[in-house]
Amino acid sequence: MENDVQLVACTVDNEEYAIDIRSVQEIIRLLDITRVPHASPYISGVINLRGMVIPVMNLRKRFGLPDQKPDETARIIIINCNGSMVGILVDSVSEVIRIPRQNIEHTPSCSSNVNTEFFSGIGKLGSRLLIMLNLDNIFEIRTDHQGF
């Protein structure tokens, strides 16, 4: 048990990804998102989570994947990122799974069409392959706001 890792599995553009459950605050259905002008294109906007204003990042855009209007299955995963909350918009959240630590490979040699700096490894569960997300790198946005 000690050696198991609990992961939240989610999908983006038919690819399965996983996030360490310890950084997940909660998972919510899609809320009204308020657009923020001049924000980075990866940021969809901000939501009201019980009185807190939380930015939401669209993972599809972050990964450079084709944009798609969120449907019924879309979810926002609220991540506690060093004390501040950030939501990430995914196509769907499938389940919480537990896999042994040794089943995680830390050399990302996957053949995904997405920039590998966003990944921290691959989790194997039977025949399923889950791409582990590197949240720190995903949230690292160079702030080159265009002035005007």
Under the rule (CB under 8 A), what is the footprint of other proteins?
Answer: 32, 34-39, 43, 45-48, 51-55, 57, 81, 84-86, 139, 141, 143, 145, 147-148
Q: Choose between 6 and 48: whose C-beta lies nearer to other proteins.
A: 48
Cβ-contact 20, 7 below 8 angstroms = yes
Coarse DSSP helix, strand, coil percentages of the chain, rounded to the nearest 5 percent: 10, 50, 40
Q: How far is the CB of 13 from other proteins (least distance, A)?
A: 22
Q: Choose between 9 and 76: whose C-beta lies nearer to other proteins.
A: 76
Q: How far is the CB of 43 from other proteins (least distance, A)?
A: 7
Q: How far is the CB of 38 from other proteins (least distance, A)?
A: 5
According to DSSP, residue 99 is labeled E
* Among 77, 10, 81, residue whose Cα is nearest residue 47: 77
Q: Choose between 3 and 146: whose C-beta lies nearer to other proteins.
A: 146
Burial 46-60 (b: 16+ CB within 10 A, else e): bbebeeeebbbbbbb
